[in-house]
Each structure stands twice: as structure tokens, then as C-alpha cells.
Structure 1
């Protein structure tokens, strides 16, 4: 993580990636001094509500992360950045997304955990679009123009207000991942009761892996004097890329365990 003091002192000249998370309420104009080299800008975890109108001065910018801030709309200046391909504004307060806010070379759009009720048709006119992460919003429909996005391979729309899935989803040639749990279209299925394990009966050890929704750690379960090896998933938040952790846990419980696999546990 970089510091604002180093940025203002000119000590970051020539860098390609800038990470600033220091309670910013305004965009530091000194960032423009890095325009000749800056490709990745991460301003997540601040208090920003806007971006400068001339953001396009960062002519080499390819990746922009501004998650965990206080935006209420997707800034239209983002759409003016000619090389911008990945845009992430997760966990803001975004209610509006205008067509003008979508950069022409957009490949990934990450708007998880916001308040978006609708998306512009222009989104389907981004031919390079590959990943669309929209879980935890208020969407009731998806733009029909997305049927034209033949490179679209991942769509995450869990925890919205969708009552049906559009037919064109099945016609997307590259689609490999679709997550839509916790929408009105999903009927709840009863599951068999599962034993709850007190947290104090688990001891966590090394990390085994990490995904979009959480971290998997090796654990030992202390069960009635016996010790059993286990894997425990620690979720990153109440809303993840695939919706609520409760939906993922319910799916795992409903699927059961493969033959020869250890007993499934819930902490």
C-alpha cells in the first residue's frame, strides 16, 4: 500500500500501479503526475463520492478499483477512459448507471453490493465484455442487448429481485458461470437438519485457498475428545460475489457429500 505523503513528494514517479487507502474524501490531483505510466489505480476503502471529470488524462489506465467508498452513481468520467478495461466499484451506494459511464473497451464490470435497479442497454454494446458481477443489487431485469455479448463468460446476479431468467442467457456461446441464487425466481427447498459445531471447538491453521467469497483454512475439529481434520470457509462479508453466504451453505448441504468423503460439517 502506498502513502499520500509519498505521492505528493513525487516518490512514486514511474509506477504502473497505485494503491491508496487512507480515508480520502477527494481524488488527489497528484495522481495525474503518474499519467505516463499508471495502468492500475486502486482507491478502495476510502470515502470518495466522485471522480474528476478529466479522469481520461490517465491515458494508460487499464484497471480501476474504487470499492468500499460512498458513490451513489457510476461516474461518467470513467466512460471517457480509452484504455480502461476493468472497473470495480463494489460495496458503494450506487443507484444509477448511465450509458456514458461505460468505457468502450470494458471487459470486467464489478458492481457487487450496491443499490442498482436497472442497467442501460448500452452495456450490451461492449463487445469485449467478459465478466459481469452484479450480486447484491435491486435488479428486476437484465438488458436484452447483453445477448450480443458473445465473449461474456461469467454473470453473477445473485441476491437481486429477478423473477425470471431471460431465454437469451442459454444462447451466450462463451458463458461458463452463472450464479443467480437468492432471487424471487428461486424456490426454497427444504434441507435436512445439520449439526452445528461451536466455534470454540475448532482451531484454525494454514490457509488452503481463497476465492471471491471467502478464505478456506485447514482446521482441527475437537469433537468429544477426538480430533478430526476439517476445512473451514471464512466468508468475506454479508454479500459476496455469488450472493449471501447462507445460499452457498444451503447449496452445499442440499448437494450432500460424495461417497467416501468425510462427514460434512457446518460451523
Structure 2
């Protein structure tokens, strides 16, 4: 975090990154003194309502964050910022998105938790758009021109007013991570899922240290007292009424509806009676021998997880992880649940190849019919991306080992192919992985 004093006295000269959160109501003009170097500007957590028309003077600006301010209109001059690839205006009051607000180089747009009712057709010109975050708005439809954004891989449209998913959405060649819960289109399925079962009272829990945090909440280790016994558990407390993926209530319905599976992190019940009304759930505590498979995407990687540079997988472990996650996804699809965030950073694994899939923040319930199959095949692409990442970090071999790797490479290719209808479903994926055997 930087200060206005640092900006005023010139001590930030040559800075490539600037972060100011100090109750700003106007854009500090001194920022333009950094025009030759500034690449990342974060003005989140202020009281701004507009940006200067000459913002494009920041000619090297690549990333702009203005979340948690008071904008009612997405600044129109953003489209003139030639190098701008990432824009974040989460949790403002935006109801209007001008047609000129999209820069040509845009890869990542975050407009979560606003009041947007329509998007302009010009978004279809964003040929490089990979990640679009629109949860928690008032959209009743998506512009058909969005179909031209064939690089789009992640789309969050949960908690809007969509009564249907457009058919073109289900044929987008690279779309892999989709969340749409909390819309009229899924209201029937969500109502049928009913209230979450297995309520666990706040008074039964004693929270300890934080185990981790994600987009939707913070996870604590805790003790659960029940019938005179104490059990170590994990408690997820949601951060707010709306997350970047959608609604906490939808996540609770999905993760409890998922039921038990050896490759899913077990959910024990919904948290009730928190003194401040915070929503949450209680989960089984994972063995500390299980580690995160990867870190979440970075500002640079956009839609791709970040692995440790030294991360390698033995073929046997790779097969175990792939088989486990394919089995978990098949189980979810059979229960009419799309995970929506099938990523390595949501997977815990052991060195022996055991894998556990968690985090249902982006999950959606599938309605019966042909759309459900198409949606499943979108998620198959997410699995294909994961499998490709594992294969890229697996040592090669000769003979039978090479044959297994070739089979997996073909499966990976089939999962990510642009023709969505030609991708295999998880039953076939699981069968093909099971058919692979590591030579003894």
C-alpha cells in the first residue's frame, strides 16, 4: 500500500505499480507523473465516482483495479487505453456500461456485484477476452455478440436474472469454467434441492487457526462438540452476500447435494446460528499429508493455475489424480451438479496420487435435457486443461510407459477439442484412464 505523501513528494518516481486506498474522492493528478512506467494501478477501497478523460496518458497501464468505489458508469475512456488487459470494478454501483469502455487488448474483466442490466454489443470485439466476471448483477440476457469472443474460457454469470442460457454459449470452443446458479434458469432445480440438511450450531464449534482462504470464504480449523465427543473439523465462513463466483446459499446447496464420494472433500453440515448471521459449512478436516495441487491463476496467467517450478509427477501419481478427479466429476454430473471451478488449486493431493476435489463456490445445478450434456462437456474441457498441466510435469519414459503417456495425451486432446459435441463424457474418460496401467 502506498500513501498520498509518497505520491506528492516524488518518492514513487519510476514505479510500475501503485496502490492507494485512502478515501479518495478525486483521481490524484500526480499519478500522471508515472505515465512512463506505471503498469498496475489499484485504486480500490476509495470513494471515486469517475476517472479523468485523459487516463490513456498512462500509456503503459496494463491492469486497473477500482473495486469498492462509487462508480455508477464504467468509465468510457478505458477503451482508449491501448495496453489495458485487465479491468476490475467489483462492488460499485455500475448500471451503465458504455460501448466504448472495452480496450482491444482486454483479457480479464471483473464487474461482479454491480447493477448492470445490459452489456453493449461491442464486447464481441474483445477477441482476446479470456475471463469475464459478471456475478451479482441484473442481466436478463447476454449479448449474442459475445459468441465472437472465442478465446473466452471462464464466465461467471451467477446471481443475475437470466431465464435461459443462450444455445451459442454451449458451443463456445474454449469455455471451461462456467457458473450460473442463482438465476431463474436454475430456480426449479435449486428449489427442488431443498434446504441444506445436517445443520451444525455455532455453539457446538470452537474455531482455531486459519487453514486457508479463497474467493468465497475463509477456512478455519475447529473443534466440533457432539454428544460429549470432540472432533477436529474445518469450518468455512463465507465472506459476504455475494462472491466472485455467486451466492453462498447456492454453494451450500450444491456441496451438500453432492453427497459422499471418496474423491470429494466431505461436507458434514451447514453452519447455523452464527452470532453475526455469517453463512458457512462444516467439512471434514483433510489429512495434512494432502497438499494443494497448484496455486490459483496469477494476474499474468489469467485462467491458468500456477505450479511450483520444481513440481513433477510420477506417472503412477498422475494416473491416481486423474482417475480420482474424473470419478468425482462423473459422480457430480450423475447428481446433476456442475462443479464450475474444476481447477488444480481446488484439489488436494498426496504423493501417492490420492486426490480430493473441493470448493463448490461456482457450482450450478443441471436441468434435465440436452443442455445438461452440453454443459457437462464444457466441464470436460476443464478436466482436459488439468490433465494437460499434469502431463507437462510428468517425466517421460520408454516402452509401456511411453504408450500410457501417449494414451493420456490423446485423451487430453479429445477433452479440449474445439468441437464441444465431440468431447467424451466423464464415464468414458474414467474408463480410458482405468485402462492405462503403469508397467511394473
Q: What interval of TM-score do these two structures reach, taking the shorter chain for normalisation?
A: over 0.9
Deviation at 1:192, TM superposition (A): 6.4
Superposed CA RMSD in Å reads: 1.6
1:95-110 equivalent positions in 2, closer than 5 A: 95-110=95-110
In 1: Cα distance, 2:21 partner to 2:196 partner: 43
User: Deviation digits for residues 122-152 of structure 1, max 9, x if unmatched?
Assistant: 1011100001100110101101111111110
Pair 198,238 (structure 1): closer, same or farther in 2 beyond 3 Å? same
Judge conservation of contact 1:181–1:242 (CA < 8 Å) in 2.
no
1:209 and 2:212 equivalent? yes
1:65 and 2:65 equivalent? yes
Q: Secondary structure at the match of 1:99?
A: coil
TM-score normalised by structure 2 residue count: 0.59
In 2: Cα distance, 1:30 partner to 1:192 partner: 53
Judge conservation of contact 2:196–2:270 (CA < 8 Å) in 1.
no
Deviation at 1:220, TM superposition (A): 2.1
Judge conservation of contact 1:18–1:41 (CA < 8 Å) in 2.
yes
Pair 262,73 (structure 1): closer, same or farther in 2 beyond 3 Å? closer
Judge conservation of contact 1:191–1:254 (CA < 8 Å) in 2.
no
1:228 and 2:231 equivalent? yes
Q: Secondary structure at the match of 2:124?
A: helix
User: Deviation digits for residues 29-55 of structure 1, max 9, x if unmatched?
Assistant: 111111111111110010000000000
In 1: Cα distance, 2:192 partner to 2:140 partner: 22
Q: Secondary structure at the match of 2:200?
A: coil
In 1: Cα distance, 2:4 partner to 2:221 partner: 37
Deviation at 1:258, TM superposition (A): 1.7
Of Structure 1 and Structure 2, which has the larger fraction of its residues in helix? 2
Pair 28,196 (structure 1): closer, same or farther in 2 beyond 3 Å? same
Partner of 1:22: 22
User: Deviation digits for residues 3-37 of structure 1, max 9, x if unmatched?
Assistant: 11111111111221111111000000111111111
Q: Secondary structure at the match of 1:215?
A: strand
In 2: Cα distance, 1:53 partner to 1:12 partner: 23
In 1: Cα distance, 2:196 partner to 2:113 partner: 30
Pair 181,263 (structure 1): closer, same or farther in 2 beyond 3 Å? closer
Greater C-alpha radius of gyration: 2
Moved more, 225-234 or 11-20: 225-234
Q: Secondary structure at the match of 1:265?
A: strand
Q: Secondary structure at the match of 2:155?
A: strand
Pair 193,235 (structure 1): closer, same or farther in 2 beyond 3 Å? closer
Structure 1 unaligned blocks of 5 or more: none
